[in-house]
């Protein structure tokens, strides 16, 4: 364990005492403090209230202040929000009064220390063997993949798995707001954004880092989460020889993901016309993988879609290759269903055949 992490662990014991057992419980993925006397946790995708409490608002506020200082940030009346990655990998966000009316509000999201694989997805019923093999093929062929989903749907975990399936011999550059991706690859460079200092200077954005990465001879560029005008640079990179780029975006469906990415790209300072931008968008994204969290708390792949240009009415032509079947509730409350082929054959089937990949067209039969 690094000295930095050890110092933070000591800070947790000193200041976050009441919730330390929750943070140490491996079954808990997120701790949500609504106020000093109201604390909830997420367990297996479901939210539960606990009996744990801080002594009072001052104790909770002191904990947040000290955590902010330990990561070189500040939270006060002028800056009432804190968004940071902790040295042990946890993601923390806090809001203080008067913006938070019930008192200091805090959420700490934990990330699994266990490296997920496609085998884990299959074992958990989140993906079928054929769907996993198809995504593996997409990575081998250098398809540009967009992972879409809501908050807590498992986008980051899935992106990590996909990145670990990149064929050897390539140079990969990873850009994130907060380092969350677990990537084990022989030639990878990690970049992380930097927030401005107290004087408002020194900020380094994803867009800044993406521009730098284009000058560092990348084969593939991975953007942890596309949330701003950097979408334009990513799309243009995909269209200028950087095959196999990946990123995530917040959206409820694959079609919505394309529309959202377009809206984000429009925030750039490019002089591209709307028609030119949409054409680049359709040409850039090959595959959209939709991740979802279901009512029973499970996280699964809801669909794997291919982008094929535009429909007759001008909308993005997003065709599902695999789609989640109808989910039926079992006696124990869990949902029964799986990702099944829709009968659509991907437009790059010839590439699969030419590369002698043993994945016949019959695999896509409904």
Residue-wise pLDDT tens digits, 299-329? 999 999 999 999 999 999 999 999 999 989 9
Q: Which residue has the tokens 């933070």?
A: 8
Residue-wise pLDDT tens digits, 330-350? 998 889 999 999 999 999 999
What does the pLDDT read at residue 13?
Answer: 66
d(CA 108, CA 218): 33
Which of these, 255, 356, 249, lies nearest to 303 by C-alpha position? 255
d(CA 29, CA 42): 6
What does the pLDDT read at residue 9?
Answer: 62
What residues have CB less than 8 Å from 10, skipping those under 6 apart? none
What does the pLDDT read at residue 184?
Answer: 87
How much is the average pLDDT of 261-284? 87
What residues have CB less than 8 Å from 122, skipping those under 6 apart? 128, 129, 132
Domains in the chain, start-ordered, CATH in brackets? 3-109 (3.30.450.90), 118-364 (3.40.50.300)
CB 226 within 8 A of CB 249: yes
**Which pTM value belongs to this model?**
0.85
Q: pLDDT confidence of 1, banded at 50, 70, 90?
A: very low
Residue-wise pLDDT tens digits, 31-88? 999 999 999 999 887 899 999 999 999 999 999 998 888 777 789 888 899 888 777 7
Which run of H or E residues covers position 130?
Answer: helix 129-140
For 124, the token pair is 């958990």
């Amino acid at each position: 364990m690094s000295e930095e992490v050890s110092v933070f662990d000591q800070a947790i014991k000193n200041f976050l005492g009441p919730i330390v057992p929750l943070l140490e419980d491996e079954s808990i993925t997120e701790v949500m403090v609504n106020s000093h006397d109201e604390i909830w946790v997420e367990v297996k995708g479901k939210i539960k209230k606990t009996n744990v409490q801080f002594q009072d608002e001052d104790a909770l506020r002191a904990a947040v202040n000290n955590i902010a200082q330990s990561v070189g940030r500040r939270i006060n009346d002028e800056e009432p929000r804190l968004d940071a990655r902790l040295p042990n990998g946890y993601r923390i966000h806090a809001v203080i009064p008067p913006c938070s009316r019930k008192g200091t509000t805090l959420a700490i999201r934990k990330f699994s220390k266990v490296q997920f694989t496609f085998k884990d997805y299959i074992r958990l019923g989140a993906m079928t063997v054929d769907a996993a093999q198809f995504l593996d093929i997409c990575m081998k062929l250098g398809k540009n993949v967009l992972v879409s989903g809501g908050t807590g749907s498992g986008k980051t975990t899935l992106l990590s798995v996909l990145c670990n399936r990149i064929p050897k011999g390539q140079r990969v550059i990873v850009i994130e707001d907060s380092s969350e991706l677990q990537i084990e690859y022989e030639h990878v460079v990690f970049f992380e954004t930097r927030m401005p200092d107290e004087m408002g200077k020194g900020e380094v954005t994803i867009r800044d880092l993406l521009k730098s990465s284009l000058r560092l001879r990348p084969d593939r560029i991975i953007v942890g989460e596309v949330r701003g005008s950097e979408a334009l640079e990513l799309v243009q990179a995909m269209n200028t020889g950087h095959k196999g780029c990946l990123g995530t975006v917040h959206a409820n469906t694959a079609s919505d993901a394309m529309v959202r990415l377009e809206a984000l790209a429009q925030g750039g300072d490019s002089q591209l016309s709307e028609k030119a931008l949409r054409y680049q968008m359709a040409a850039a994204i090959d595959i959209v993988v939709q991740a979802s969290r279901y009512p029973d708390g499970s996280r699964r792949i809801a669909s794997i879609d291919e982008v094929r240009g535009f429909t007759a009415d001008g909308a993005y032509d997003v065709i599902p290759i695999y789609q989640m079947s109808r989910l039926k509730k079992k006696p124990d409350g869990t949902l029964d269903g799986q990702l099944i082929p829709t009968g659509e054959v991907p437009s790059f089937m010839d590439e699969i055949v030419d590369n002698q990949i043993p994945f016949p067209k019959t695999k896509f039969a409904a």
